[in-house]
Structure 1
Amino acid sequence: MHGPALSLPASLPAWLLVLLCAVSGAYCLRRVRRSGREARGGAAGEALMGFGMAVMAVPPGIGPWGPGILLAVFCGAALHALWLLRGGVHHAHHLVGSLAMAYMALTMADGHGHGGGLPLVTGALLLYFAGYVLLGGARLVTAGGSVQPTPDKPQVVPTELTRACRLAMGMGMLAMLLSV
């Protein structure tokens, strides 16, 4: 994802990842508006992660951002995730994701991807997100037809769609880590 700018056919996987992450971010942003007060922070963190992943997946040379801006955004997201940890360790995934994105931004700055990262750190993140994706996929398959009511509104948010969004972002993270 961080290699040199390519022609459209060669960069199609990167653009598909951009689209997947942007749609996931938009869905999570919609959840922010529809969620109760307690769930807003988590949904906002997921929206930021989805949009940040979309920006990071854009082929180089397109857009005004660079590794420094991405690093600042994801360090801010990591601070937000630390703040969310006050509510319980179930928000630790946001912290891991934010730190992984900051790590990838650092590898973009140093080595422009493709071997620019530390193998031990990259391997640990790959194992974490592979496990996250496998667990998320298993939960999605066994979810059934459950819905998640929100306290503020009588509408319900399908749990499967939220899980599918998280699964898509986990797979996007795996794809980007494979390019480090």
Structure 2
Amino acid sequence: MHGPASPGWLLVVLCAATGAYCLLRMRSPVEEQRRTAGGEALMGFGMAAMAVPAAVATPPRWAWLAYAALFGATAVRALWASRTSPHHLHHLMGAGAMVYMAGVMAASPGHHGHGGSGIPLVTGVLLLYFAGYVLRSGVRLLPLAAASPGGTRTLGWGDRPELSRACRLSMGIAMVAMLVTL
């Protein structure tokens, strides 16, 4: 993305760390964690790669088209999975946003990728969606005084729902930051 290099690198680190945590969640004994962790890891690493400051690396046009194809396939998978779980609709929105951003970067003048200009209406709708998602996710992280029915069960650190929510929140914030720079 374009803009100052320091925030770009912070975004790269945040997204890569989130992707790495999601890879670790794929080892979880909880089936739901494993199911969503792979897609979230792909999203985290893809966002990290797209956020590398333009002063360091300017991918060729074909790389942006490859991103668009990869996340297009991810969007189709999320659409198929959304039949059974509404959470996958968020994955569909994320993958769609990645396809959109990669397309904008591929179509930018000189094919330098960074600093393209998207369609304001589409960018605005995506910004509204992800800003709302960030706010909703942030509220869900607030501690609640709720008793666990049936006693307490010790969860592994990779199975803790608040850590998964924090990762999704950080990816949502990163998506807002990337869309703002579009």
TM-score by length of 2: 0.82
**Residues 161 and 154 of structure 1: CA distance in aligned 2, closer, same or farther (over 3 Å):** closer
- Identity, in percent, stands at 51
**Residues 13 and 55 of structure 1: CA distance in aligned 2, closer, same or farther (over 3 Å):** same
Return the offset for 1:49. Answer: 0.6
State the one-letter code of the partner of 1:77: T
- After superposition, residues 138-177 of structure 1 pair within 5 angstroms as 138-143=139-144, 155=156, 157-177=159-179
Residues 66-125 of structure 1: CA deviation (Å, up to 9, x unaligned): 211211111121122123213222210000000000000001011245462111100000
**Residues 143 and 44 of structure 1: CA distance in aligned 2, closer, same or farther (over 3 Å):** farther
> Bigger CA drift: 170-179 or 10-19?
10-19
Paired residues in the alignment total 169
Gaps of 5+ in 2: 149-153
2:40 counterpart residue number: 46
**Residues 81 and 161 of structure 1: CA distance in aligned 2, closer, same or farther (over 3 Å):** same
* 1:79 paired to 2:76: yes
Superposed CA RMSD: 2.5
* 1:110 paired to 2:107: yes
* 1:62 paired to 2:57: yes
Gaps of 5+ in 1: 148-152
Query: Based on CA coordinates, which of the two structures has the bigger radius of gyration?
Result: 2
TM-score by length of 1: 0.83
> Bigger CA drift: 57-66 or 69-78?
57-66
